[in-house]
Amino acid sequence: MSQDTLFDKVWDLHKVSSLRGGSDQIFIGLHLIHEVTSPQAFGALKDKNLKVKFPDRTVATVDHIVPTDNQSRPFKDNLAEQMIETLENNCLEHKIRFFNIGSGNQGIVHVVAPELGLTQPGMTIACGDSHTSTHGAFGSIAFGIGTSQVRDVLATQTIAMNKLKVRQIWCENQLSNGVFAKDLVLHIINKLGVKAGVGFAYEFAGPAINALSMEERMTICNMSIEGGARCGYINPDEKTFSYIKNKLCAPKNEHWDNALKWWESLKSDENSIYDDVIKVDASKIEPTVTWGITPGQSISINQQIPLLNELSPNDKLVAEEAFEYMSFKPGQSIKDIPVEVCFIGSCTNGRISDLRIAAKVLKDKKVSKNVKAFVVPGSERVANKAKQEGLDKIFKDSGFQWREPGCSMCLAMNSDKLIGNQVSASSSNRNFKGRQGSPNGRTLLMSPAMVAAAAINGKVCDVREFIN
Amino acid sequence: MKSEFTPPIGKITKINGQCISLIGNDIDTDRIIPARFLKCINFDSLGKSVFADDRKNLKGRHPFDLEDNKNASILIVNSNFGCGSSREHAPQALMRWGIKAIIGESFADIFYSNCIAIGIPCFTLARELIQKLQKNKNDKCLFLEIDLKKLIAKSKDLNFNLEIKESSRKMFMSGEWDATSTLLENENLIENKFTKLPYVKFNNNLF
């Protein structure tokens, strides 16, 4: 059993009681909600005649269903309009702070909370969204929950949960030029598998992690769940603290000094005990692309799609399914596979640094005429910053469509969808069958820089040829 | 689709029903219920849309469309079932289709807790046994009686042990799987915990 890790410290601090069944009752320091997984939870509160216990500790925004072309109200899609109205009414009724479209602070919930300084080390953070693991980048313990647990958090600010085991993923050396956090996390998921993290929290550590910016760290923790780990985190350091400093909701004045002192104490102790430790050599990683229907099915840009006999019996079953669905052949090179749609955005890679690197690749270049390319900033703040820096112009000049913030084609709950069996190069997090809105649509996950390069060439290519 | 849906309530100690096999590892919640069906403010109409895209692709040959399976209530799956999105819509859709329990090699964490929270026990079983159940030639008439107290499943000619997290088993046995009221019993402890959290003092700018 793990001991003295950040996970242990934060868990123990938030433990309210041991429940009769043997699970723990855990206090949730910050609860984030959005329009898709909260309405039924509010409905259940009403049925049980309960109130929101700590309305101040829940913050709402709208992201999944928002259109990214025309955001004027009412939305063209009646169901989407009904969902945003329901959230507006619930927030009003229960006095919950809501960052609506046009507030300047709306966006994907996992982009918004960190950029407002809501996400802080040592907190427990829950949200009805599996990518809540993102917030672990700050040394918080953050995990996705279902709607019944959203109801529990609203009603009690606690949930019943079994304590997770802790696996440290030690990333040695440094990523090389043209290789990004997305490549690192795709590599880790490929190495460990998509279910290795079940029952675990992942602690990402080591020189390669220390060298990452906060936004890159968010990309890593965001995709913990794709490796099966509901929770992923990174010990906070100077980068964490300076990212938070002066943010809207950051501790101010004398509170800042107290916060710093406490945050420093949260790091996993030098002699802490882990349930498991895995080592990864970051310097060996190359730009990585998925070829299949799970985020674990990835290869380096210069590799071939694996042959069936190279895979374990368990992986074979899903690989066969993937070959059939993707219409790719074992042994085929991933390079030069034509792409029809290029999507830059999502809670994984829709932040300002993602837009900057993509714009750097796209500057003075044109998107291939066979490609529909669009960029969806992760939040209104990201969009505004990008405009200040002139990035929107670079994107538009290259042939990218510049859209309004939201989740968009990561999960295609709005009108941004693949058509038929289109192949998309996507900076998002899931390449599941049908994920991007078409039951036959095909998704290749990669870093935003790689998506930009694919957009220019009209096919999968090595971004290092553009930036080195 | 069953005619009338009634959600489970209270103690769940025994589940008897016909099995339905769904073969495949890493079946994600996007497949169980595609995102377009999440555009709703209640779960009521999800049952008919469970596995919508997979079923459409298989044109009536999907296990959830087979006439023989229409009264099935115990789902037999392989490993990492329910991975991906946290959408509770997935187990809600399965439940509203008629699933009352799931037996699998392994489950994704969030899917598992969602199932427990709405009263669907998820049992684990070794791969070989799962495959044996899935290959059962008499699949269409494989009926199981699951006893949560003894953690045993029986059919006419099978008898095997199942596993489930002890905390989940206890919750079903006592009827406390709907956690809200249990959590609310500790209201004083919750208040107490809140006031002792270090960050409550220094993040007064938070909200």
Q: What is the chain B residue with the closest CA to A196? A: B80
The residues, ordered by sequence, that sit 6+ positions from B61 with a Cβ below 8 Å of its Cβ are none
Which among A54, A155, A228 is the nearest to B180, CB-wise? A155
| Percent of chain B surpassing pLDDT 70 | 95
Tokens representing A304 are 């071939």
Q: What is the chain B residue with the closest CA to A87? A: B41
Per-residue pLDDT for B136 more than 80?
A: no
CA A292 centroid distance within chain:
19
Tell which B residues from 168 to 207 touch A, by Cβ distance under 8 Å: 168-171, 174, 176, 178-180, 182-184, 186-187, 189-190, 193-194, 197-199, 201-207
| Percent of chain A surpassing pLDDT 90 | 98
Per-residue pLDDT for B15 more than 90?
A: yes
User: Does the beta-carbon distance from A437 to B36 stay under 8 Å?
Assistant: yes
Tokens representing B44 are 């009521």
pLDDT in tens, B76-94: 999 999 999 999 999 999 9
Least confident of A58-62, A218-222, A320-324, B173-177: B173-177
Residue reference for tokens 């529909």: A372
For residue A449, the one-letter residue type is A
| Percent of chain A surpassing pLDDT 70 | 100
**Separation CA A213–CA A324 (nearest Å):** 39
User: Does the beta-carbon distance from B170 to A21 stay under 8 Å?
Assistant: yes
Handedness of CA A108, A204, A167, B23 (dihedral sign): positive
Q: What is the chain A residue with the closest CA to B206? A: A249
* Nearest chain A CA: its distance from B156 CA (Å): 30
pLDDT, greater one: A282 or A253: A282
**Separation CA B203–CA B207 (nearest Å):** 8
Q: Which residues of A touch B31 (CB under 8 A)?
A: 432-434
Distances (CA, A) of B162 to A148, B25, B137, B166, B176: 26, 19, 21, 12, 21
**So what's the pLDDT on residue A450?**
98
Which among A36, A157, A194 is the nearest to B190, CB-wise? A157
Query: Measured between CB atoms, does B167 come within 8 Å of chain A?
Result: yes
User: Does the beta-carbon distance from A413 to B39 stay under 8 Å?
Assistant: yes
**So what's the pLDDT on residue B137?**
63
Query: Measured between CB atoms, does B54 come within 8 Å of chain A?
Result: yes
Mean pLDDT of all residues in A83-103: 98
Mean pLDDT of all residues in A337-353: 98
* Nearest chain A CA: its distance from B20 CA (Å): 20
User: Does the beta-carbon distance from A16 to B114 stay under 8 Å?
Assistant: no
Which among B28, B109, B187 is the nearest to A432, CB-wise? B28
**Separation CA A72–CA A310 (nearest Å):** 52
Per-residue pLDDT for B206 more than 60?
A: no
**So what's the pLDDT on residue A467?**
85
pLDDT in tens, B37-87: 999 888 999 999 999 999 999 999 999 999 999 999 999 999 999 999 999
**So what's the pLDDT on residue B205?**
54
When pLDDT is cut at 50, 70 and 90, the band that residue A314 belongs to is confident
The count of other CB atoms within 10 Å of the CB of residue A308 is: 12
Mean pLDDT of all residues in A14-38: 96
Mean residue pLDDT across chain B: 93
* Nearest chain A CA: its distance from B134 CA (Å): 15
**So what's the pLDDT on residue B140?**
58
**So what's the pLDDT on residue B157?**
87
Q: Which residues of B touch A25 (CB under 8 A)?
A: 183, 186, 189
**So what's the pLDDT on residue A322?**
97
pLDDT in tens, A259-295: 999 999 999 999 999 999 999 999 999 999 999 999 9
Tell which B residues from 125 to 154 touch A, by Cβ distance under 8 Å: none
Which among B53, B109, B179 is the nearest to A434, CB-wise? B53
Task: Report the alpha-carbon angle A310-A311-A317, nearest 5.
Answer: 140
Distances (CA, A) of B175 to A21, A48, A162, B95: 11, 17, 18, 18
Q: Which residues of A touch B187 (CB under 8 A)?
A: 156
* Nearest chain A CA: its distance from B171 CA (Å): 6
**So what's the pLDDT on residue B4?**
74
Q: Closest Cα partner for A201 from A226, A230, A221, A222?
A: A230
Q: What is the chain B residue with the closest CA to A11? A: B197
User: Does the beta-carbon distance from B107 to A57 stay under 8 Å?
Assistant: no
**So what's the pLDDT on residue A134?**
98
Which among A39, A40, A122 is the nearest to B199, CB-wise? A122
For residue B122, the one-letter residue type is C
Alpha helices in A343-436 (DSSP H): 346-349, 352-362, 380-388, 391-398
**So what's the pLDDT on residue B194?**
96
User: Does the beta-carbon distance from B190 to A118 stay under 8 Å?
Assistant: no
**Separation CA A312–CA A195 (nearest Å):** 14
Mean pLDDT of all residues in B2-13: 84
User: Does the beta-carbon distance from B204 to A29 stay under 8 Å?
Assistant: no
Mean residue pLDDT across chain A: 97
Which among B86, B165, B184 is the nearest to A162, CB-wise? B165
User: Does the beta-carbon distance from B170 to A22 stay under 8 Å?
Assistant: yes
